[in-house]
Structure 1
């Protein structure tokens, strides 16, 4: 029988604690890290780094926060990379081949929530510098660049939202604003035969967002057209005196603040029948809603 002196016993206990800490690496990091809890520990020894939210580093070290915003398969672009390092544990990021690498230097492909080898994808029709797509818990979800989409302005992976810093769905915001144009012109809805929406200035929208806007206006039971005045002329829809049987909605400019978007535009019926519009859409009580709609000029 091997006899251990007290020092040997203490050394053995310490080694067992370190071993237990190392075993925490086997946790499935494809599951979201619960950042509202303290890092797990074994005998008072912290095994996990403390991060404010789930993320992946990409695009020359930019931080992309992983959200719970689901992405349809047909919105997922081509593969642009993979997760290369699991940095959820100090053990994993500080020691390599028995060499201490402190201080930690971030690299593209580092993640505190995704398993090594998890694929990173482009988001169709969206700049990779703004948003990418990752496979998280067997679902495609958005990951936002926290510099171009500042921390707090995106939906947290927990699904909770902050009214003061909401995620901006510009498709929904433009949809609400354009719809608020119509009541500004009394009786306009009664005799219009179609609604044309000039989307030439909506460069921040994807094709899917534009399609969503057109489908929304189908509630008026008239034809909905993505067209500007010039295109309406080419289609033979402009009559004498530059008048049209429908209405043409246009966005001229957009001002974006933290939780308010101001959109200026116009409603066109003819060269001598048009109004300027100003609509404010604010994030209140957990949703975007129109809080102001005025006409600014009349011709």
Structure 2
């Protein structure tokens, strides 16, 4: 994950004024330490002897870490609405990875890999002939299976991963045996579906609910500006940190057989204390 590491290392130099709030600054430290501990446990960012299964999850964590970087950068500059959309993504990423991490066998992984073929077929089969030609001219190889029309049975088999709604996956994930018995492992995700995924999806879907998340707020210079509530950036940092802790900890245990439970449980304790200061709880 060298590229994400290099970009993440530059983020503190560009984070905005919300990092001046002590609880937000503390959560940013927790986030940075979370990913640093993850990479250190793996022996660094350059991985040369991964199994195919491990490399799959290295790529999943790459997507997660770069999404986290983008969300924090947006939130720190009070770009709360795009940050909300990214935190919605972070929630879905965490639910799906944790669901796979807690499985007792490989059945769900088979479904997950099958979904690639279903999605690729759907995308390439619906391209126009000129679009296909342009891709092929740019060096993309379009194989026969990508454009063949699958039978109903084939389609059903490849799309099994998508048959379980995200809300149900989150609830079922919470009922599965966690990889260890720490307080972090006992953190649930099902109860966050409505406040995180459903609410922030309004920004992504550009629906009327999103409009009501914007209002007139006074700046420190007593000017009125049209913006989301100024408390949102801190909340977005808080949830991004929670999702990152869950993903990094469970990935190390489930896919790399590396136990850093003490480190991540300590980070979770610090996260919990900072969150209480943010929410007044």
Give the TM-score category using the shorter length.
under 0.3
What TM-score results when the alignment is normalised by the length of structure 1? 0.20
Larger gyration radius, structure 1 or structure 2: 1
What TM-score results when the alignment is normalised by the length of structure 2? 0.21
Instruction: Give the structure with the higher percent strand.
Output: 1
